[in-house]
Amino acid sequence: MAKKVAEEYYLMHKDIPVCLMEISNSGELGSFRINQSAIDHFPIGGKMNAMKFHEWWRDRAIPKTRNGVKSALQRLGYDSTSSALVDNLALSLSDCYWIQPRGEGLNWADVNLFTNDFVDTFGDITLNKEHAIDLRHQTKFNCAASQGELQKKWCIDMSGQRYMIKGNYGQSYQQSINELFATALHEKQGFSNYTSYYETVLTVEGGIEGLGCLSYDFCSENKEIISAWELLQSTKIRQNESLYYPLKRICIELGIAEQEFDAFMDYEIMTDYLLSNTDRHMNNISVVRDPDSLEILGMAPIYDSGNSMFYNIPYEQLDQIHLDQIETHSFIKKEIKLLSYVKDRKIVDIDLAEMDFSIYEKDLLERHIRIPKIKELYERKRMKLRAFQNGKDIWKTERY
């Protein structure tokens, strides 16, 4: 008998079937048929056309570029991250979508990762390639859906709370330390809508202990997030148009007050500038939604600030950085020009942004030489932001 090349699944939003999908053995989405009576529950990012929905499905898988993915796929016997996604029923700890094999009587209570125990074997292998054990037979479900290229692993603490452990690129621990540094900055500012990161120890390649960070899941059965990337798939964007304005229009249309959007983005842009966070791409900004009523509850807490503080710049090049020419993955390419979107220049207290850099002594000893340099660069950024708060449009005086 010939092997099936595709199987049928219902895309579910909790217990609501939103469409019937054909998915190949390799995890690729084929044809699909939308349940029009549940169209409001269909993913926002896939509503415009079939191509957008295919993109939404592909984006749900673990990125192929994540560190350690190739090794994890080989050890767990998957052909691709897409096939791992299907094996995991496309479950996530960020929203309430999943896939139900047609003809099987599974429901949301049976499968969701917010209340059912799981072991994130895939994440464990990407973090600790040599010592991870395949524990899939000890748990009903795996957890294979989280975004980003950095190694990550979902866990459950003794009280049942879900949390994510994040690793680092290369031999440095700076990305994790950057998350701790950003947490301290937000705490000093008295800002509440951010994700707290905590120090943790993890076993890294070679079997040695290293520094990582963890954060608790701010999503639940009653609260899911929709990324700015997905929201932007629901509208046409003019060529060379900054993504800031389409995103603002969509958020306001969904019910977020303009004042709330402006205040959140003003704060995020200014603190990202201080931190030299070059990775505030559209999957690192989200809104929060009630999955039952579909009400948009507001902007999601600030998260993922690890790619900051010149973490990937070699020490000998730190003196050559031109602060006015830093490029970033965000609404526009030039970091300094992001400040032109800010409405309330005083939303960040620049005096309370004086920071303790001794936290970077937690990095490897050979990287301690970097601390005075990154502190100097941060202080120069703080001086520029003070000039901005005093009315200077500093992006107009950039040096070439």
**29-70 pLDDT per residue, tens:** 999 999 999 999 999 999 999 999 999 999 988 766 666 667
Which pLDDT value is given to residue 171?
78
112 or 121, greater pLDDT = 112
CA distances from 199 to 25, 211, 349, 362, 363 (A): 40, 7, 26, 10, 12
378 or 203, greater pLDDT = 378
Q: 190: alpha, beta or left, given left = phi > 0 and alpha = psi -120 to 50?
A: left
Question: 3-state DSSP call for residue 199?
Answer: strand
CB 224 within 8 A of CB 217: no
Helices and strands, counts by H and E, the chain? 10, 11
CA distances from 150 to 119, 326, 336, 388 (A): 19, 22, 26, 33
Answer yes or no: is 198 within a domain.
no
Answer yes or no: is 279 within a domain.
yes
Same domain, 228 and 367: yes
How many domains does the structure of the chain reveal?
A: 2
User: What does the chain come to in residues?
Assistant: 400
CB 99 within 8 A of CB 23: yes
Same domain, 96 and 230: no
Answer yes or no: is 136 within a domain.
no
Same domain, 241 and 377: yes
Answer yes or no: is 57 within a domain.
yes
Answer yes or no: is 2 within a domain.
yes
Among residues 74, 93, 114, the one where a domain terminates is 114
What CA–CA distance (Å, rounded) separates 359 from 60?
A: 35
Q: DSSP labels for 311-354?
A: TTS-GGGGGG--GGG-B-SSSSSBTGGGGGG-S-TTSS-SGGG-
Q: Which of 117-121, 205-209, 224-228 has the lowest mean pLDDT?
A: 205-209
Which pLDDT value is given to residue 16?
98
Same domain, 98 and 230: no
Residue (of 243, 231, 163) closest to 202 by Cα position = 163
pLDDT digits (tens, 9 = 90+) for 257-268: 999 999 999 999
CB 166 within 8 A of CB 179: yes
CB 40 within 8 A of CB 17: no
Residue (of 188, 150, 156, 162) closest to 359 by Cα position = 188
Same domain, 370 and 245: yes
Through-space distance between the first and last CA atoms of the chain, rounded to whole angstroms: 68
CATH number at residue 255: 1.10.1070.20
Whether the predicted pLDDT of 207 surpasses 80: no
Residue (of 301, 88, 60) closest to 191 by Cα position = 301
What CA–CA distance (Å, rounded) separates 327 from 337?
A: 10
Answer yes or no: is 247 within a domain.
yes
CA atoms within a 13 Å half-sphere pointing along the CA-CB vector of 49: 3
Among residues 68, 99, 114, the one where a domain terminates is 114
Answer yes or no: is 68 within a domain.
yes
pLDDT digits (tens, 9 = 90+) for 282-292: 999 999 999 99
Highest mean pLDDT among 3-12, 35-44, 83-92, 235-244: 35-44
User: Helix 258-275 and helix 371-389: axis angle, to 10°?
Assistant: 140
In percent, the amount of the chain with pLDDT more than 90 equals 70
User: Helix 258-275 and helix 244-253: axis angle, to 10°?
Assistant: 140
Among residues 114, 129, 153, the one where a domain terminates is 114
Helices (H), the chain: 50-60, 69-76, 81-87, 108-111, 121-127, 174-189, 228-232, 244-253, 258-275, 371-389
Answer yes or no: is 199 within a domain.
no
Range of the domain at 341: 224-397
Average pLDDT over residues 195-212: 82
pLDDT digits (tens, 9 = 90+) for 113-128: 999 988 776 666 666 5
What CA–CA distance (Å, rounded) separates 347 from 271?
A: 10
| Beta bridge partners of residue 203, listed in sequence order | 209
Which pLDDT value is given to residue 274?
98
| pTM, to two decimals | 0.90
Same domain, 250 and 377: yes
